[in-house]
Amino acid sequence: MDNVIDQSGILAISTRLQRLSDALRKEGQLIYQSFGIQFEPKWFPVVYTLHLKTSMSVVEIANEIGYAHPSTISLLKELEKQQIIKSKKDKTDERKRLIVLTTKGKALVDAMKPVWNNMEKALVQIADNKNNLMEAIIEAEEKLKESSFLVRSQKIRQ
């Protein structure tokens, strides 16, 4: 609480969330490196999803990870370049591309499991305090689903 933005409190919450997100992602990158693994934190949602669900279309992945589909497409392009995933046309629906992990991708996931385990422990240290950050995020998202920031603002205004 030593600068103006901290003092302005909750109004700068969007900025604070982003700052923290950036810091964790950048350090995540360094941790993968320290384990000698070539993997970027931004790839995690796609790869984690595919490792659980085997074969999915682009839009299915996008919905699953909560991203817009063009963002997902660009992640998939990077992962295809790294030969972590591959895709084939869906035979029953010509519009769809079915995405799967390659053999290399599956091996990478196995190699990353201890890293994920390690990161998870470190993240629990960081996020589990008097207030649990992950739970706080989930609770806030639930509140937003109930009634958006805008709608709440309008109700308060009346």
Instruction: Report the interface residues with DNA, using CB under 7 A.
Output: 15, 18-19, 22, 25, 29, 40-42, 57-60, 66-71, 73-76, 90, 93-97
The pair of structure tokens assigned to 88 is: 């084939």
Q: Which does 37 bind (CB under 5 to 8 A by kind): DNA, a copy of itself, none?
A: none
Q: Which does 68 bind (CB under 5 to 8 A by kind): a copy of itself, DNA, none?
A: DNA
Can you tell me the distance from the alpha carbon of 101 to that of 94, in angstroms, rounded to the nearest whole number?
20
Q: Is 74 in the site for a copy of itself (CB under 8 A)?
A: no
Give the largest CA-CA distance in the chain: 60
Q: Is 89 in the site for a copy of itself (CB under 8 A)?
A: no
Q: Which does 52 bind (CB under 5 to 8 A by kind): a copy of itself, DNA, none?
A: a copy of itself
Q: Taking each helix axis as running N to C, give the angle between helix 44-53 and helix 103-127, from 0 to 180 degrees, rounded to the nearest 10.
A: 120
Rounded to 5 degrees, what angle do the CA atoms 48, 38, 64 make? 20
For DNA, give the closer residue by CB, 40 or 127.
Answer: 40
Q: Which does 134 bind (CB under 5 to 8 A by kind): DNA, a copy of itself, none?
A: a copy of itself
State which of residues 59, 98, 100, 123 lies at the interface with a copy of itself (CB under 8 A).
123
Q: Is 28 in the site for a copy of itself (CB under 8 A)?
A: yes
Helices (H), 1-158: 4-8, 13-34, 44-53, 58-65, 69-81, 103-127, 133-146, 149-157
The pair of structure tokens assigned to 77 is: 């392009």
Q: Is 37 in the site for a copy of itself (CB under 8 A)?
A: no
Q: Is 130 in the site for a copy of itself (CB under 8 A)?
A: yes
| DSSP bridge partners of 97 | 89
